[in-house]
Structure 1
Amino acid sequence: MGEEIEGGAGRVTAVAGLCIVKGLIPARHRMPSTPNALSGRLAIRLLALIALCLLPEPPRSGPDGLLEAIRERELLSVHTRNTPTTFYEGREGPTGFEYELMRRFAGQLGVSLTLRADHHIESALAAVRQQGDMAAAALPLEPGRPGVIFSRPIIALEPVVVYRRGLPPVEDPGSLVGLAIGTIAGAGTGRVLAEVKRELPALEWVDSAEVEVAELLGMVEDGELDAAVLYDHQFRLNRLFFPGVERGFPLGDPLSMAWAFPAEGGLALAEAANRFLAGLRESGELDALVARYFGHDDYLEYVGTRTFLDHVEARLPDYAALFREAARATDFDWKLLAAVGYQESHWDPLATSPTGVRGLMMLTNATAGDLGVDDRLDPAQSIHGGARYLRQLHERLPDSIQGDDRLYMAMAAYNVGLGHLYDARRITETRGGDPDRWRDVRESLPLLQEREWHSQTRYGYARGGEPVLYVRNIRRYYEILSYVERSRRQFPLLDTRARDPEPSG
């Protein structure tokens, strides 16, 4: 799902019919994320790129053949996966840890980037042997695999065992015997289990290329599996969506993530990638990207009432007037806007998310530009801009969605984007639910994490469990703020004393 073409003049989202090196994008793949018609300039660029794809490809053989071909056609073609650690359409546009690396590598080569992102691990490796320039799909480094050359290690992959809450603690390899265990085919975790099996011959497991991390964790939580083996960073990114799954213990030695290149293309492209990765590591940029994508797994944690009330007293007074002004201008309850702001940044005007959105209301660069916000870190601009954006989303929803359902869906779109929300509404309808009711749509949103469902949608993979928790948290914060406001109206003297206590002694 989803192909991106990116170059020095900016990113172009590929449309149906655009050639990807040697093949056509299937018609089901993602269209431009905005509903507006393509501008004349964009259409011209797309025609130029189509023409590029239709030109005969230079030979890939020889020591520098593939790298020369990429530079001649000015296009790097990558096989990848539509997952949170590789590539997906996020709130701020295309994102993902490996997407960031691919984008920067293409930029260093001075070429555009196109992605084929409907693969699983094994199909990405098979495809790169036949067409395309490289595979970047959370691949485990596997020297000696026929037909491919691997890059230097990018990051360490730590295998961990996770298991269903309620089972006896799974604390060591011996406790795995007799359990129904699953893992993802080709991810490298099967090799780790095979090493353990040498010491524990009774150990059994199943692996599948047709599941991703969310499906695997869902199978554990639902009881189809007792346990699973995946990588630690994958579990941390998904743990909040699967509260019925516990972390067990690290299993075996860490593996390494790497890129793969076709062996027939020579060594030059792999050597260029190795120089690029070494430069990122030496400059500290690689560590920064790892921290940005994998170092924050608590964004959606619900802050307890005591902590929230402490922030109400210590932080909210600085911004309450701005929230009230923005509420009057957009016809929202100011406490709702304040609750959104707290969920986004904990009322920190300098906040930056793992994916790069910034400010008290966490506006993306593109959204800020559309709203006329030139300084996302200015609290007034951020609050007013966030309120206007929420109002725009509210008004763009179909008229058939009414009342609180409309508000909750607008809030979900603030988090995950309108495109993914519409995908979830279509899934809801397919499943026999009411796409105009939040209670039904919130059941469908997490399915955007599962390949079976997101492969049928227009916008592909999304962290669909995230907007469900996001809306839930905002509703809780709003209820607490409403309670505090009612209490202050009813007991103004007590509130005054609480805020300005008399000196003791």
Structure 2
Amino acid sequence: MNSRTRREGATWTLIAKSLIPLIFIAGVAIGALLAGWRWLNHDSAAKKRDINVIRNSGKLRVLLSYDPINYFIYKGAPMGYSYELAESFAKELGIPLEVVVVRDMNEQLAMLRKGEGDIVSHFLTITGSRTGIVNFSTPLDSSRQVLIQRKPAQNGSSHLVRKLDELDGKTIHVRINSAYYTRLKEIMKEKNISINIVTAQGSLTTSELLGMVNDGKIDFTVADDNIASTHKALYPDIDSETQLSQNQPLAWAVRKNSPQLLEALDRWLQEQKKSGNLAVIHDKYYNRQYQFRKHAVHSFYSSHAGKISPYDDLVRKNAKAIDWDWRLLSSLIYEESQFDPDAVSWAGAIGLMQLMPSTAASFKSGNISNPADNIKVGTAYLVSLAKEWQEIKDEATRLKFILASYNVGPGHVRDAQKLAIKYGANPNSWEGNVEKYLGLKSEPKFYNDDAASLGYCNGKVAVLYTRNIINRYSLYSQVIPE
């Protein structure tokens, strides 16, 4: 081999060696790109539900955990910081809200990515790992993580953990893959200490873990300071003065393939901030400890009591007459009177189920001002309406005909059927058919139509009435035992 050949060989060897790192980097980049493509393909394989698809579906599905701040049932009514905001946003979009209760945060994110929900309305800490799988809204709040520990039996703080180093050897219960779990792992590295992190069940809420510390069942957990501060009204024996992190932004999450939904959500949130509405709702749930304690320990706070109203036993008994789930009948009663036995409408409807005296007379009732008689007669009327609509074979559809008839009378619903036939719709189908024409009975063109023998009816109210009862029943079913 001559010297020129040796020089050329050495040159190519040098070039090859210099290219190896570049080839490796390119390989990593391509691998990441392919992984990203696989992830994007996973999300796009689910139903792509951006804002137009959501509107066409007729509902905005939000994923919420059930706790005393963000979402709960109190005296039969759905309430909560996240719930109120989600309901307001759904109204802004002009579509009904559907709440899906998911207690496990990891399951919330998985369901979001699969298209089984549109927004995780639980307040999530924005972390690097999460931004890789979901998009976050503009932050709604911020909070520091704090250590939750039980106050000493006697006054004084000598036995309380006040420095991060003192966490060495301590056992702390947090949900796995939560921001709290991640922060404890970081502290172990930062301080070169060992913390026994016990991963709590994903279905356990922060509120429940705080209660376990308060009751002495566990020694430590971690929470956001705003949540801890609110819960002190309920759990007076907890201490939350030891800070574990700096302020961190909290936000809602949407799928990566829903950019239009994210844009609409961010725009709406900015408007809520500017108007002061966000601050008002925040104050309602975070800064009124007396009210928080009042609803959290109330016998009709449905998280722990499994109750809806003082009339649950009466409702259960009478629901059997119509073969209804008692929670469905409770939802109707809430829609009628909000469980006020003394309610009287402008038209003279009386009591829990808002019965007209003429209706009650046809059932030979006793005193419809009495809750027991009122529910008995109201249920008997529902039984008669069920017979009225036996022709509707699908049970879920028949229910909507019955509910609308309870609100405006079966005659107006029959009119809507006739209008549906005249204008080429299905008289035995609800959504987009009889529902549509019942709503149109408030417009002259339709209530003056020969097919509408009973004339004017505020059918839009009946449509909303029906939808509200069914949606509330869905909420009850997720949190109240059958």
Q: What is the TM-score with the length of structure 1 in the denominator?
A: 0.47
Higher Rg of the two aligned structures: 2
The structure carrying a bigger helix percent of its residues is 2
